[in-house]
């Protein structure tokens, strides 16, 4: 609340000494005066039939009077401030209509520039980020060119070299690119065919640079994919504003990982009615306490998911649940051809997709020349990869018999996530908790 001004403060806003003198003579002419924390108002009887209506917006200050005076503020506004400074204006809960209307118009006019300024600031911030990202990607492209021109045999493929260029991408506000670069030392250290894999990753990064340069020429879904892979942020509210996809979603995998006290929870879902795949990602720092609850592994929930925009949308936000989660005990068949077709369609739409969920029913785990495979009833096989405990856990759970395996196909191998057998989803990856066992419910 604004305290009443002193007479000296009132005098300081007077346009001239004559106006202040005239204002003092109006002391007895006021009626229906009042004030709130931000405004003072009143009626001043002049020589005419109707009194003059005066209002002062103290937050400006700004002045309004119905008199024809060209002085600003007029003697009536000054007179109103003088009796207010003398404690003769009572406090009221709300101004009368004539004062309220003028104050509202002022607030509306003030809001337009403020909103415009906010939008302008947002646009400028976005433009600055885009310029910084573009400059960083240009630097990355020069670095990629140097790697190819000099040959991989002469290139520095140490972890420190990749970390240095990744750090520059972080500075350029392209964290998605930085993450891709930081995965490359593992490829060099663990793969006998690392030159081929490295060239493939360099080509994917170069394609991303070129796509970002021509972003405005691309279809909107592809633009969204490019921004996502570069690492532009997108708010949860923006995702939830997208149209939802309602289905009976089956939870086929849950994994929680930790790196430098940043916990990541990944949940794999498959729509029972429409077959769409989805992944929920949540993050928490310090402990594995996530802000959002998700249905447990092995459960089915009638819910709406909101997908992040992209040419091959997979990541989603959990929206409204329309029923409580309940166990499911059957799965629709899924074959190798279907899994490969899904992956091909995803890569065809978004060439930076690295893996896609795959559901394979009735497959058997086998080993050939030290390599692990799953084989379908027709004898077709897909190679397996992953941590040794996961692969051995798959062998132990299947017992050499056909089972349903859910995982991610990455164009070279299937990384198993869970096994579905006898109506139960068993986790293979770590950090999933206890497998969900079906209650006494009817089969679906």
Crossing angle (nearest 10°) for helices 97-150 and 194-213: 140
In tens, the pLDDT along 300-340 reads 999 999 999 999 999 999 999 999 999 999 999 999 999 99
Q: Which residue has the tokens 């260029």?
A: 165
Cis preceding linkage at 32, omega within 30: no
Task: Judge whether 356 and 275 are in contact, CB under 8 Å.
Answer: no
Question: What percent of the chain is modeled with pLDDT above 70?
Answer: 94
Residues whose CB is less than 8 angstroms from the CB of residue 183 and which lie 6 or more positions away in sequence, other chains included: none
- Residue of 392, 334, 328 lying closest to 365 (CA atoms): 392
Instruction: Report how far residue 58's alpha carbon sits from residue 38's, in angstroms, rounded to the nearest whole number.
Output: 5
Instruction: Report how far residue 242's alpha carbon sits from residue 261's, in angstroms, rounded to the nearest whole number.
Output: 32
DSSP symbols for 417-434: EEEEETTEEEE-SSS--S
- Domain positions in the chain: 7-95, 127-230, 245-327, 336-422
HSE-up (13 A, CA, CB side) for residue 363:
31
Question: What percent of the chain is modeled with pLDDT above 90?
Answer: 70
Instruction: Report how far residue 165's alpha carbon sits from residue 133's, in angstroms, rounded to the nearest whole number.
Output: 14
What confidence tier does 289 reach under pLDDT thresholds 50, 70, 90?
confident
- Residue of 353, 373, 440 lying closest to 413 (CA atoms): 373
Q: Using alpha carbons only, what angle is made at residue 224 by residues 222 and 225, rounded to the nearest 5 degrees?
A: 65
> Looking at residue 440, what is its pLDDT?
31
Partnered with residue 264 across adjacent β-strands are 257, 283
The β-bridge relationship of strands 277-285 and 245-259 is unpaired
Partnered with residue 267 across adjacent β-strands are 254, 280
Residues whose CB is less than 8 angstroms from the CB of residue 304 and which lie 6 or more positions away in sequence, other chains included: 244, 245, 246, 319, 320, 322
- DSSP helix/strand/coil, 404: strand
Phi, psi of 323, deg, nearest 5:
-160, 165
Look at the chain and count its residues.
444
How many other β-carbons are positioned within 10 Å of the β-carbon of residue 4? 17
> Looking at residue 280, what is its pLDDT?
96
Letter string b/e over residues 124-144, b meaning 16 or more CB atoms within 10 A of that residue's CB: eeeeeebeebbebbebbbebb
Report CA dihedral (127, 129, 135, 137) to the nearest 10 degrees.
-120
> Looking at residue 122, what is its pLDDT?
65
Q: What is the mean pLDDT of residues 201-211?
A: 97
In tens, the pLDDT along 122-137 reads 667 778 888 999 999 9
pLDDT at residue 442 above 50?
Answer: no
Question: What is each CA distance from 126 to 129, 173, 231, in whole angstroms?
Answer: 5, 11, 13
In tens, the pLDDT along 356-380 reads 999 999 999 998 888 999 999 999 9
Residues whose CB is less than 8 angstroms from the CB of residue 441 and which lie 6 or more positions away in sequence, other chains included: 326, 327, 329
pLDDT at residue 416 above 70?
Answer: yes
- The CATH T-level fold of domain 336-422 is OB fold (Dihydrolipoamide Acetyltransferase, E2P) (2.40.50)
In tens, the pLDDT along 58-110 reads 887 899 999 988 888 999 999 999 999 999 999 988 899 999 999 988 888 77
- Which comes out higher in pLDDT, residue 249 or 263? 249
302 is written with which tokens?
């009638």
């Amino acid at each position: 609340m604004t305290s009443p001004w002193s007479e000296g403060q009132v005098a300081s806003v007077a346009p001239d000494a004559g106006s202040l003198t005239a204002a003092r003579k109006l002391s007895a002419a006021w009626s229906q005066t009042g004030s709130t924390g931000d405004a003072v108002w009143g009626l001043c009887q002049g020589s005419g039939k109707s009194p003059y209506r005066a209002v002062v917006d103290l937050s400006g200050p700004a002045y309004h009077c119905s008199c024809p005076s060209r002085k600003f503020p007029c003697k009536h506004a000054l007179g109103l401030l003088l009796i207010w400074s003398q404690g003769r204006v009572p406090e009221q809960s709300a101004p009368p209509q004539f004062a309220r209307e003028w104050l509202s118009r002022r607030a509306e006019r003030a809001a337009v520039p403020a909103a415009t300024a906010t939008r302008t600031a947002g646009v400028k911030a976005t433009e600055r980020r885009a310029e910084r990202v573009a400059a960083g990607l240009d630097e990355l492209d020069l670095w990629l060119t140097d790697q190819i021109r000099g040959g991989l045999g002469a290139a520095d493929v140490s972890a420190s070299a990749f970390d240095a260029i990744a750090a520059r991408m972080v500075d350029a506000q392209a964290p998605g690119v930085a993450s891709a670069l930081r995965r490359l030392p593992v490829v060099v250290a663990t793969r006998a065919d690392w030159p081929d894999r490295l060239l493939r990753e360099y080509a994917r990064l170069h394609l991303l640079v070129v796509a970002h340069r021509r972003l405005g020429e691309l279809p909107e879904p592809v633009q969204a994919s490019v921004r996502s892979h570069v690492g532009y942020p997108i708010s949860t509210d923006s995702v939830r504003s997208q149209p939802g996809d309602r289905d009976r979603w089956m939870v086929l995998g849950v994994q929680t990982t930790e790196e430098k006290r940043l916990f990541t929870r990944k949940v794999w879902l498959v729509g029972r009615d429409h077959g769409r795949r989805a992944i929920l990602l949540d993050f928490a720092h310090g402990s594995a306490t996530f802000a959002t609850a998700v249905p447990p592994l092995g459960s089915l929930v009638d819910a709406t998911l909101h997908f992040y925009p992209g040419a091959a949308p997979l990541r989603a936000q959990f929206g409204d649940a329309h029923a409580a989660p309940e166990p499911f005990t059957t799965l629709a068949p899924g074959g190798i051809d279907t899994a490969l077709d899904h992956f091909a369609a995803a890569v065809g739409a978004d060439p930076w997709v690295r893996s896609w969920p795959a559901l394979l029913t009735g497959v058997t785990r086998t080993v050939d020349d030290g390599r692990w495979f799953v084989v379908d009833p027709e004898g077709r096989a897909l190679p397996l990869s992953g941590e040794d405990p996961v692969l051995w856990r798959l062998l132990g759970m299947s017992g050499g018999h056909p089972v349903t395996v859910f995982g991610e196909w990455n164009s070279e191998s299937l990384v198993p996530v869970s096994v579905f057998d006898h109506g139960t989803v068993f986790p293979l990856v770590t950090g999933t908790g206890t497998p969900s066992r079906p209650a006494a419910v009817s089969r679906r």
